[in-house]
Amino acid sequence: MAAVNPSQGDENLSVVVHGIGDLRLENRPVPVPGPNEVLLKMHSVGICGSDVHYWQHGRIGDFIVKKPMILGHEASGTVVQVGSSVTHLKPGDRVAIEPGVPRETDEFCKTGRYNLSPTIFFCATPPDDGNLCRYYTHDANFCYKLPDNVTFEEGALIEPLSVGIHACRRAGVSLGSKVFICGAGPIGLVSLLVAKVMGASQVVISDLSSTRLEKAKEVGADFVVQVTNETPQQIAQKVETLLGCMPEITIECTGAEACIQAGIYSGKKKYVNQGWIQTQVSGGGGFYQFWPRAGVGFAVTQVDIFAPSSHGYIYIYIYIYNKPQGGCTQPKLATQAGASKTSNTKHQKRALHINDHLHPLTESPSFYLSQVF
């Protein structure tokens, strides 16, 4: 692929949130990469629930949009320029982007958990700009080459996939595990896929939406629970009845209070919360070391409450894709969203589904996982 060498006169169209309900398409200057950075021509950028939340509400907890901010953090693109100190990437390389980059070598970096650094840069988290734009600079050490047989769209989806991988690893999903997942949205579905690949014998997933639950069944859920007016205790009882026992592991992917309560009531061993604030009881949630195993990270407090970041999990994804004969479970995720060029245009909320494009493994899942975990 021929690399494009942009000039400062080129357009850098960017999706910028200015405040609640105020989303604009603006032309920003083409950035210049620093010595350790690369300039990327963006190709595929996912629309995360956090992007929608910043647009609709102007904040997520203490992260408040106080100045115009470019959205987007699930991304892939092509290198068009490299900084003077960059040696492992070159123009034309196709890369996936790890959105969380530590700004300093603090105590968390020294222990290998840089995602916990309170000063970490994270794309599209106030005050840091994201990469839903035409040209974007990023730390070269947090850009990872994509194999030729991985598309840009799949490269952008490594970030949400990483969340599921990290959650299942921190929770200790293994052969024979019985797992309850609260929420059948994008993160719930990737957590389901990863749990099954890691050997879970039975997975129950709950949601309000019958459509999402149908999709969950298509991609491997053993049981589904459609939530209506039940109490958290009643939901937990349904899960126990379906599994024949309490689940050993609960992964909470909504952040809703009732779901968190249901997860706690249902679990007998480990509970991981995958919402914006990540709560873990006897375990850990989130994602870090985005590429080395597939991409997940959280900022943590002394009481194990996490806020998401990303790093460290992509290598499992790339490793499986590079196996001979290309055999792997290969879910395709797609989004549908309204397009807009002004802040006054009505937007559709994101609808994410997983198409049934699953390919047979040439080896058992445990074989692939044993090479990485």
Q: What is the mean pLDDT of residues 103-112?
A: 86
Percent of the chain with pLDDT over 70: 69
Mean pLDDT in the chain? 76
pLDDT of 365 strictly over 50: no
Cα angle 270-225-295, degrees, rounded to a multiple of 5: 50
Percent of the chain with pLDDT over 90: 50
pLDDT of 198 strictly over 60: yes
- Which among 46, 98, 112 is positioned nearest to 308, based on CA atoms? 98
Cβ atoms of 144 and 293 within 8 Å: the answer is no
**pLDDT tens digits, residue range 231-258?**
999 999 999 999 999 999 999 998 888 8
pLDDT of the residue at 116: 79
pTM over 0.85: no
Q: Where are the alpha helices (DSSP H) in 219-267?
A: 232-243, 257-266
Count other C-beta atoms under 10 Å from residue 341's C-beta. 11
Burial of 319 from C-beta contacts in 10 A (0-12 / 13-18 / 19+): middle
**233 contact partners, CB below 8 Å, separation of at least 6:** 262, 265
Cβ atoms of 78 and 92 within 8 Å: the answer is yes
Q: Which domains does the chain have, with CATH numbers?
A: 13-156 (3.90.180.10), 162-316+363-370 (3.40.50.720)
Which residue has better confidence, 349 or 259?
259
Query: Which string of DSSP letters, residue by residue, matches 110-144?
Result: HTT-GGG-TT-EETTBTTB--S-BSEEEEEGGGEE
Rounded to the nearest 10 degrees, what angle do helices 314-321 and 158-171 cross at?
A: 110
pLDDT of the residue at 10: 74
pLDDT of 353 strictly over 60: no
- Alpha carbons 7 and 174: distance in angstroms, whole number: 51
